[in-house]
Amino acid sequence: MPDRELISLDQVQMAAERFLEERLKGIKKISVDKVKLASIEGILIYDVAGSATIGTGFISKKTRLPFKIQISAIDGTVVGYETQTIDS
């Protein structure tokens, strides 16, 4: 068990949203579908999976971007991520 408390699930979701907003332009919606506590080489992380909807205008085509982000369970820093674009 860690000697420090783990961050809350709300903090995990906020860290994931902030990370995506800093890297992607035109985000309309962020949906977090799954958050799972895991350990990678002794480091506790949260695996966060979901999707971001990106579109630049009212009538423009929207793109759904599935993502997976790994966030440190101790301090909330992003330690890894992966995205994939799917047009909708």
What does the pLDDT look like over 52-88, one tens digit per residue?
Answer: 998 766 666 778 899 999 999 999 999 999 988 665 5
CATH level 3 topology of 9-87: Nuclear Transport Factor 2; Chain: A, (3.10.450)
Q: Return all residues near 41 (Cβ < 8 A) that are at least 6 apart.
A: none
Assign 21 to helix, strand or coil. Answer: helix
Q: Convert the pLDDT of each residue in 24-55 to its tens digit.
A: 888 889 999 999 999 988 889 999 999 999 87
Residue 12 has pLDDT above 60, yes or no: yes
Asked whether residue 23 carries a pLDDT value surpassing 80, the answer given is yes
Domains of the chain by residue range: 9-87
Contact call for residues 51 and 67 (beta carbons, < 8 A)? yes
pLDDT computed for residue 80 by the predictor: 94
